[in-house]
Structures are given as structure tokens and as C-alpha cells.
Amino acid sequence: MKTNEFYIKRCLELAANGLGTTYPNPLVGCVIVYNDRIIGEGWHIKAGDDHAEVRAINSVKDQSLLKKSILYVTLEPCSHYGKTPPCSDLIIEKKIPKIVIGTLDPFAKVAGMGIKKLLAAKRSVTVGVCEEACEELNKRFFTFHRKQRPFVILKWAETTHGFIAPTEQQKGDIFWITNAYSQQLVHKWRSEEQAILVGTQTALKDNPKLNVRHYEGKNPTRVVIDRALKLPSSLALVDTSQPTIIFHDHKLTKASQYNLSFEALDFERNLPEQILSSLYEKGLQSVIIEGGAMTIQSFIDHELWDEARVFIGKNEIKDGLKGPVLKQKATRNEWLEGDQLNYFQND
């Protein structure tokens, strides 16, 4: 006989299919089991569409089996009316007797109310199966609701000697430390997050597009730090092809336009905190900080980061700009055709 953990792990596999497409909703997977056999499954694809539980229930061919089945789901079923009706109501309506849940929902409009509704309907409810894995899957959603800020990913590439760029670099001339496989992976990451941030010097020197042209998916919102509003309109970052936020000094003013908004911050205060607070207010659940070294280091120094992904490339620089410094040790690493990729967690 298969365990609760077995079926919740299948739910996790299903839920992961929605990474990058469900915002602002969480990733959720669901399976329905009758006599130790999966008879229905589903996952949440995008906001406004059916939730995982609805998809799983609708996929069951013989609906009469539902009243004898167990519903497994990674996250507590919702109990409120949003863009769709409450999943907990549908579970009760279909007379599903037993529900196994990975973890509670931190969203204030749910937060235990879904479970309370199921228990009030005299359903058997088990909570906390593979809880750590279920929270890891929705680390962006959980961080957003628990810490009132986006999930922060730091990303950079450096040589084996710790350089991230040559000392002398011409404007728009990028020295690639990593290979094409690593570069494509970065574009995949961009498609999974809601925002991507760079500082003034990176914008000026590299003239990045910060899109997902090498991978299929939605472009993130671009975020640029430009204290003195000195970035020229010729840069790709201000071409209005995708939503872009430019943070500048509060002593200056600049009118916003289509897909290009200007927001004033006090640069004498904790800048990373102000930036994350603004992104939170805009409903952005995650952000990749891609450069430069000073910008990334400022988030490190203020302990405002959750995960770092650092490439060590084969291409070397004799003399250059040093990369950011982390005090943590890598939690895991992998190789991509000669490039080493190290992952760090800020616990």
C-alpha cells in the first residue's frame, strides 16, 4: 500500500508544472485516490483558471467514486471567493470523505479557514505531509505573505579567481564568463520570476535587455536603480517593450509613461529595503538581482536575500572587478558543460 507521502510527492511533481505562470497564485498539485489507485489529478496553471483541486475532481471519469476517495493536495484548499469559487466548498459538495494536505496556506484570506470549513463538514483532514517540500515549492508565495517582500534571488558569474568583469570594459561590450548552456539556463530562470533588477553601472556598461529571448516564457518586470536619472533613452532597458520600473533619488522628478514608471526613493536610507517594499506593494512575489557587484553586495550586507546562484566559468580574466562576497557555504552545486553552478541559502 502506498503512503500519504507517495501521493503528496506526486502532487508536488504536478504543481511544479505551473512555475512562472500562476502568479499571484501559488503552485498547487492535487491527486485523487480510490483503492490505492490514482483516478484523477490536476495542477493550477494560471490565475483565473481552475484550481488544482477542481481540475483533479473534473478529471475523474466515474464521479460516484469521489465519495469513497482520498484527495491529496500540496496546499490547503481555498475557502474564499476570488476569481474562482472556494475549492473547499466543491470538496464538500462532492462528498469526498478524506483530505490530506501538504501545508497550510499563509494567505490571510485562507490561513486555516479552508481546513476549518472541511472539519465543520465532518471530513477527515490530515495536515503536514511532506510539509518542508511543499513550502520549498512555494517559497516565493510564502516569503511574500510571511515577510511582506518578494523572494530575492542573487545571481552572478565569476571566474575561478573571483572576477566578474574585466577592469577595462567598453560600453555594451559583454565579456562572457559562462557558456551558452549556462546563459540559456539564466533565461529559463527569468521566465520563472516576476522581476529582475540591475544597477546603473550594469545598465550603462552591458546595455542588457533582461528578457527571455533564449527561452519560452513571460518576460519579467525590469527594475533599474538610476539615482541621478542619467541612463540615456537609447538603452534597451528603457525601450518600453516590457514593464520597467526605474528607482531614482527622491529629490528628482520624472514623469512615467507606458510600460516605464519612475519611482523616487531616499538613497540615504536602507535602499534594498525600500526597493523590496515597493515591489511588494506592486504585488511582485520574486526578483532576481543580476548586477552589478555593488548592487548585489548591498542586498547581502542588509541580509535581504534568500537564495544565491553563482556560476564559476572557465573563461579567465587576468585583472578585473571582484564579485560579491558571501559568508555562507554552497548548499549544492552542479556542472553545465564545464561551468560550475553553486547554490547558496540565506537561513
CB 322 within 8 A of CB 169: no
Of the listed ranges 105-119, 167-181, 261-275, the least confidently predicted one is 167-181
Average pLDDT (298-309) is 98
Residue 220, preceding bond cis, omega within 30 degrees? no
Domain(s) labelled CATH 3.40.430.10 in the chain stretch across: 149-345
- The candidate with the shortest Cα–Cα distance to 11, out of 130, 104, 146, 164, is 130
Mind listing the pLDDT tens digit for each residue in 200-227? 999 999 999 999 998 989 999 999 999 9
* Residue 283: predicted pLDDT: 97
Length of the chain: 347
Q: Is 256 exposed, middle or buried (0-12, 13-18, 19+ CB in 10 A)?
A: exposed
Q: Does residue 228 have a known ligand-binding role?
A: no
- pLDDT value of residue 169: 60
Q: Is the pLDDT of residue 170 over 60?
A: no
Q: Mean pLDDT across the stretch 271-288?
A: 98
| CATH code assigned to 149-345 | 3.40.430.10
Q: Does domain 4-142 have CATH number 3.30.950.10?
A: no
Query: Annotated binding residue at 297?
Result: yes
The answer to whether 339 and 312 are in contact (CB under 8 A) is yes
Is residue 171 scored above 60 in pLDDT? no
3-state SS of the chain is CCCHHHHHHHHHHHHHHHCCCCCCCCCCEEEEEECCEEEEEEECCCCCCCCHHHHHHHHCCCHHHHHHCEEEEEECCCCCCCCCCCHHHHHHHCCCCEEEEEECCCCCCCCCHHHHHHHHCCCEEEECCCHHHHHHHCHHHHHHHHHCCCEEEEEEEECCCCEEEECCCCCCCCCCCCCHHHHHHHHHHHHHCCEEEECHHHHHHHCCCCCCCCCCCCCCEEEEECCCCCCCCCCHHHCCCCCEEEEEECCCCCCCECCEEEEEECCCCCHHHHHHHHHHHCCCCEEEEEECHHHHHHHHHCCCCCEEEEEECCCCCCCEEECCCCCCCCCEEEEECCEEEEEEECC
Which listed residue (53, 76, 192, 193) is catalytic?
53
Would you call 53 a catalytic residue per the annotation? Answer: yes
**What does DSSP say about strands 163-166 and 320-322: parallel, antiparallel, or unpaired?**
antiparallel
Residues 64-109 pLDDT 10s? 999 999 999 999 998 877 677 889 999 999 999 999 999 998 887 7
Within a 13 Å sphere around the CA of 233, how many CA atoms are in the beta-carbon half? 2
Give 120's contacts (C-beta < 8 A, 6+ positions apart). Answer: none
11 is in an annotated binding site: no
Q: Is the pLDDT of residue 166 over 90?
A: no
Residues spanned by CATH 3.40.140.10 within the chain?
Answer: 4-142
- Terminus-to-terminus CA distance in the chain, angstroms? 37
Query: Which position has the grid cell 517593450?
Result: 241
**87 a known binding residue?**
yes
**Is 74 annotated in some ligand binding site?**
no
For residue 231 the three cell numbers come to 541612463
Give the residue-averaged pLDDT of 176-194. Answer: 95
- pLDDT tens by residue, 16-61: 999 999 999 999 999 999 999 999 999 999 988 999 999 999 999 9
Instruction: Output 190 or 315, whichever has higher pLDDT.
Output: 190
What burial letters (b/e) apply to 116-153, b meaning 16+ CB within 10 Å? ebbeeeebebeeebbeebbbebbbbbbbbbeeebbbbb
Residue 206 annotated as binding? yes
Is residue 157 a known part of a binding site? yes
